[in-house]
Amino acid sequence: MMSSPLPGAPPPEDGWRVAVGLGNPGSEYAGTRHNVGFDALDLFAARHGLAWRQLGPAFVAELTARRVVLLKPFTYMNRSGRALGPVRAEYPFAGPSSLFVVSDDFHLPLGALRLRASGSTGGHKGLASIEATLQSRDYPRLRIGVGDPDHDVVDFVLSPFSAAEAEVVQETLERAADAVEDWSRGLPFEELQARYNRRTPQAGS
């Protein structure tokens, strides 16, 4: 029996890998804590000069040379998993281990990064939708710390960052885009974890 490929391993010749950034569509959500997954993929796409196009209920951008497709669902966060079907039809991927999901996490301090090859949703509705669609929790994910709520959780994650947080947020998003870069190059997942997992940001240090 053949073993499953390790998360982050290069895809088979006929397979794609999919980087999924989670967020909400619309200008009213731009720059909010819940949209850092979108923001990290936007940075990565800009570095490579990639153009976004609509595919079903999502925007996608291809990095063809690496057989990587970027995916930003515009189903709203709670239904993020619905975007995987149309993408998989056009960009066949082997399974959950071929994904790399980038999301916010209010359980982590602002500027923290946490990579895991599998695990629980931690109450994140976008991750729960991905898990329900895949019927698996064994997909790599990168969680970006957005700080602890000081009021209602929903209001907090849908709020913009403050001016005082801007430097940390920008450095953290750049670092998250670096992680997507190394994942897209096929860096082993254990090396990604060693390189990018952190509890505190670097900006201002």
Q: Does residue 136 lie within any of the structural domains?
A: yes
As beta bridge partners, residue 32 has 160
| pLDDT above 90 (res 164) | yes
Give CA separation, 118 vs 96, 180, 198, in Å: 9, 17, 18
- Alpha helices by DSSP H, listed for the chain, are 36-48, 84-90, 125-134, 153-157, 166-184, 189-196
In single-letter form, the type of residue at position 68 comes to V
Per-residue confidence band for 150, with pLDDT thresholds at 50, 70 and 90: confident
Average pLDDT value for residue range 40-58: 98
Average pLDDT value for residue range 155-168: 95
Q: Does residue 183 lie within any of the structural domains?
A: yes
Summary mean pLDDT of the chain: 92
Q: Does residue 45 lie within any of the structural domains?
A: yes
Taking the mean position of all CA atoms in its chain, how far away is CA 155?
A: 21
pLDDT at residue 43 in the model: 98
Per-residue confidence band for 13, with pLDDT thresholds at 50, 70 and 90: low
Distance CA 110, CA 132 (A): 28
Q: Does residue 2 lie within any of the structural domains?
A: no
Paired sense of beta strands 68-73 and 113-116, if any: unpaired
Catalytically active residues, by annotation? 34
Q: Does residue 204 lie within any of the structural domains?
A: no
Tokens 């397979």 belong to residue: 15
CATH number for the domain including 114?
Answer: 3.40.50.1470
**Number of domain units in the chain:** 1
pLDDT in tens, 22-38: 999 999 999 999 999 99
Question: Using the 8-state DSSP alphabet, how is residue 10 labeled?
Answer: P
Per-residue confidence band for 200, with pLDDT thresholds at 50, 70 and 90: confident
pLDDT in tens, 76-107: 999 999 999 999 999 999 999 999 999 999 99
Give CA separation, 87 vs 12, 22, 57, 68, in Å: 17, 15, 9, 12
Name the token pair of 23. 């967020």
pLDDT at residue 203 in the model: 53
Q: Are 31 and 18 in contact (CB under 8 A)?
A: no
Residue range(s) defining the domain that contains residue 155: 17-196
Name the token pair of 136. 């698996």
Q: Does residue 46 lie within any of the structural domains?
A: yes
pLDDT at residue 201 in the model: 80
Does pTM top 0.85 for this prediction? Answer: yes
Give CA separation, 40 vs 8, 19, 104, 181, 204, in Å: 18, 10, 10, 10, 20
Q: Does residue 202 lie within any of the structural domains?
A: no
Q: Does residue 10 lie within any of the structural domains?
A: no
